[in-house]
Chain A
Amino acid sequence: MTASQSQKPLVEARNVHKSFDQLEVLKGIDLDVMPGEVVVILGPSGSGKSTFLRCINHLEAIQRGYIQVDGEQIGYALRKGRLEKLSPNGIARQRRKIGMVFQQFNLYPHMTVLQNIIEAPIGIHGESRKDAIANAMRLLERVGLSEKAENYPRQLSGGQQQRVAIARALAIKPKLMLFDEPTSALDPELVGEVLATMRDLAKQGLTMIVVTHEIGFAREAADRVVFMDGGHIIEMGKPEDVIGNPQHPRTQAFLSRFL
């Protein structure tokens, strides 16, 4: 699924800096993601990979540089030649084409599986209830959970919950999907079902940015692997190069723990 050269990147991050108080977490990240591309970000804990992901849909504000998604600068707008911060509602509008899957699933516990999935399509995207339910049932079938539509999240296993969370994110027909360590909170025997769902999505040409510790998934499903450490991108390239033949000593050290 390599993107052709003529296309413009869907995500364009330039010199992204982010600090929490005194602690600088991102020290100048540059990354382009082409439409249809699957980018997997690897790196040790505290390398800033999750923070970078959260900056892409402005859950965290960045302090320097810019991030552009689908031609729009996230969190800001140019008005009369000046860069202005967007209002909360303006930012909300920008986020509507980006789906996100969280480490802790974050399903709405007071809603059934079906209600979880149709909430945003009906309430935010103005779909009719009938269309939203039909689409939700199609998505549930795709993640293999059709019979769970009327259950509450608490009645599902972790792996099932995460697959519902993926269906919920797909229901808004996103141009970009962000996965923030989607399997890290799962029991080992439940990881496989979630990764299988994600592999399926990658094959269908969805643009995905995945932060994970699953080296196997990166090797099989990624078009490009990004290795981050200490707030920098250390190494980037095809999975067979970065994982199979890492050049940088820190990448080698990180990967050696998984062999």
Chain B
Amino acid sequence: MSDRTASNAPPSGGAEFRDVATAHTPFQTGRLMLWVVVILVVANFAWIVANNENFGWPVVAKYFFDPVVISGLYVSLGLTVIGMILGVVFGLLIAIARMSSDRLASSFASLFIWFFRGTPLLVQLIFWYNMSTLFPRLSLSIPFGPTLMSWDTNSVITPMTAAIVGLALNEAAYMAEIIRGGLLSVDRGQSETAQAFGMTRARALWRIIIPQAMRSIVPPTGNQLISMIKATSLVSVIAMADLLYSVQSIYNRTFEIIPMLLVAVIWYLLITTVLNIGQSYIEAYYGRSDRRNAGAVKPAAVTEEASH
């Protein structure tokens, strides 16, 4: 017979040649070529961008740590953190209300989600900012009865409060649906067991259901957090001096639009990179019970298990 058939047949010879431990992967010329070509294209593109004077890299470097930019960065980060915390807290309450058997609570939650998911965030922010044109005074009163307390709307709704309220309520609507999905993903037997042990519903939720739901809540929440950072740039329309607003205020003076936008872009990318790393740690934390050999397992326990 010829060599062709021999190459497909099992190699003749002793058992030591057949042992797969001696096998090696053949050299893949095609993959190597692909790597070389891709690296060349990417390097060339980077070189072109770095040497293109229109990008104004010296200007980027000059303004990167400019006090105006840094204070704008703080505003963006602050809004993100506060908006996200409030969004998660309200979102959790709304998710619980939505799942409750109480008709009043679940219809309120549905209405809230319907409205805040169904309208653009930009429009919501502008509405909050212009609240005073709709309601010149905010007052606390008994329905159709006497007024207890009253405030001038403009003293309550500053650009800061409008931005926080707008971002938080919008976020709450999205988080409510993410959290509800997470709570539904937990096996029904778990809440039944918690009930059978005499846990109150609040305790069962807090100790048993939410920790298990976190596994499916964390990844989309990371997504939301990253969207939120970029969504904070919308508050520049209501004159909040966030990161985007501060680079705009600089290029309105200097007309160096592209370099200043690059400053903002690089900062946004840096923040999201840090958040991505943080997210992977949080995911690892909530996935710890899933790894078969988690840290606490003693070697003896593993071998005993293998014998089952």
Q: Which residues of A contact B198 (CB under 8 A)?
A: 92-96, 120, 124, 172
A155 to B208, CA, bound (A): 19
Task: Give the bracket for the number of chain A residues in contact with chain B.
Answer: 20 to 34
What is the interface residue range for chain B against chain A? 20 to 34
**Within the assembled complex, what's the spacing in Å between the Cα atoms of A119 and B190?**
13
Number of A-B residue pairs, CB cutoff 8 Å, is 86
Q: How far is the CA of A110 from the CA of B294 in the complex (A)?
A: 12
In the complex, B308 has a CB within 8 A of chain A: yes
How long is the Cα–Cα vector from A92 to B197 in the complex, in angstroms? Answer: 8
Residues of A within 8 A of B189 (CB): 102, 104, 106
The verdict on A151 contacting B200 (CB below 8 Å), with A123-B207, A157-B308 known, is: no
- A147-B305 Cα distance, complex, nearest whole Å: 12
Task: Check A152 for interface membership: any CB of B closer than 8 A.
Answer: yes
- Given A111-B289, A124-B198, CB of A106 within 8 Å of CB of B190: yes
**Residue of B192, B289, B301 touching A154 (CB-CB under 8 A):** B289
Assess whether A92 is in contact with B199, with CB atoms less than 8 Å apart.
Answer: yes
- Which A-chain residue is minimally distant from B196 (CB atoms)? A100
Residues of B within 8 A of A57 (CB): 196
Considering only CB atoms, which chain B residue lies closest to A94 in the complex?
Answer: B198
| Known A104-B189, A111-B289, A124-B197: A150·B208 in contact at CB below 8 Å | no
* A95 adjacent to B212 (CB under 8 Å): no
Pick from B195, B201, B289: contact of A59, CB below 8 A. B195
Q: Is the CB of B197 within 8 A of A59?
A: no
Cβ B296 vs Cβ A95 within 8 A: no
Whether A151 lies near B300 (C-beta < 8 A) is: no
A155 in complex: contacting residue of B192, B195, B300, B305, CB < 8 Å: B305
Which residues of the partner chain A approach B195 to less than 8 Å between Cβ atoms? 59, 92, 95
In the complex, per-residue mask of B276-304: 1 if CB is within 8 Å of any chain A CB, else 0 = 00000000001011101110111011000
Known contacts A92-B200, A95-B198, A123-B203; A106 and B296 CB within 8 A of each other: no
Indicate with 1 or 0, residue by residue over A71-114, a CB within 8 angstroms of chain B CB atoms: 00000000000000000110011111010101010101111100
Write the A166-209 contact mask toward B (1 if CB under 8 angstroms, else 0).
00000010000000000000000000000000000000000000
Chain A residue nearest to B287 in the complex (CB): A110
Question: Taking the nearest CB of chain A, how far is it from the CB of B232, in angstroms?
Answer: 33
* 6 A-B pairs with C-beta separation under 8 A: A92-B200, A106-B192, A108-B212, A112-B296, A123-B199, A154-B289
B interface residues with partner A (beta carbon < 8 Å): 187, 189-190, 192-193, 195-201, 203, 207-208, 211-212, 286, 288-290, 292-294, 296-298, 300-301, 305, 308
Q: Which 4 A-B pairs have the closest CB atoms?
A: A96-B198, A150-B296, A95-B198, A106-B193
